[in-house]
Amino acid sequence: QSALTQPASVSGSPGQSITISCTGTSTDVGGYNYVSWYQQHPGKAPKLLIYTVSNRPSGVSVRFSGSKSGNTASLTISGLQAEDEADYYCSSYTLINTLVVFGGGTKLTVL
Amino acid sequence: EVQLVESGGGLVKPGGSLRLSCAASGFSFPNAWMTWVRQAPGKGLEWVGRIKSKTNGGTTDYAAPVKGRFTISRDDSKNTLSLQMNSLKTEDTALYYCTTGFCTSSSCHWDDAFDIWGQGTMVTVSS
């Protein structure tokens, strides 16, 4: 199972909005509404930001939102802050060779 | 405090074995489905495998690269998760995290969303 496809890097200025895409296939992203997004700061464990495409766990800022269209999911971060600079990973449930497939990760730089 | 603490990592030669442990506290470990995720140095996240709760059969599933070499087990009396790794390869070098999902009032997310993570334990396979 190949990893989901994410852009290697994105950047934005404080206060702006950015969107990170996550492209899979009909056997993962397109086939299930079980897409999650994680934020990982250097040397830290991942933190769950979004689950089931667009739901936020308690305590996650409303600046983080998720959506999906066909085989592509997206994470939007609005009102960028310096602390948002991190790596972001998407994941999807799948039944092909594994149960969960992750994206390759996107490095967000806040300019 | 909800916590997962991994241990057991280290340096091992190709073909060798290693056993990782994950101590859980602050939540109902026997009811949780537990997952191992790894991250090679400078690389992304990779799902390794999962064990269901005993009330859900305690069955395991593994990613293709580790199937037949890795075994996940649990000791609910000690709130401990284990990962037995045999026939290790250089490509198994990674930081290994234990993690678990959660339940809301309407559904459980054991296999699709992981909200509790340990700090990871590093496994290096090298001659």
CB A2 within 8 A of CB A97: no
Q: How far apart are the first and last CA of chain B?
A: 39
Q: Which residue of B has its CA nearest to A8?
A: B44
Q: For B13-69, how does the pLDDT look when each residue is reduced to its tens digit (9 = 90+)?
A: 999 999 999 999 999 999 999 999 999 999 999 999 999 999 999 999 999 999 999
Strand partners, B51: B34, B60
Q: For B69-123, how does the pLDDT look when each residue is reduced to its tens digit (9 = 90+)?
A: 999 999 999 999 999 999 999 999 999 999 999 999 999 999 999 999 999 999 9
| Residue A41, token pair as written in the block | 């700061």
DSSP per residue, A9-22: EEEE-TT--EEEEE
Over 80: is that where the pLDDT of A1 sits? no
Distance from CA of A65 to the nearest CA of B (A): 15
The candidate with the shortest Cα–Cα distance to A89, out of A31, A48, A57, is: A48
Mean pLDDT of the residues in chain B: 97
Q: Which residue of B has its CA nearest to A101?
A: B47
A:B CB pairs within 8 Å: 66
Q: For A7-66, how does the pLDDT look when each residue is reduced to its tens digit (9 = 90+)?
A: 999 999 999 999 999 999 999 999 999 999 999 999 999 999 999 999 999 999 999 999
Over 60: is that where the pLDDT of A69 sits? yes
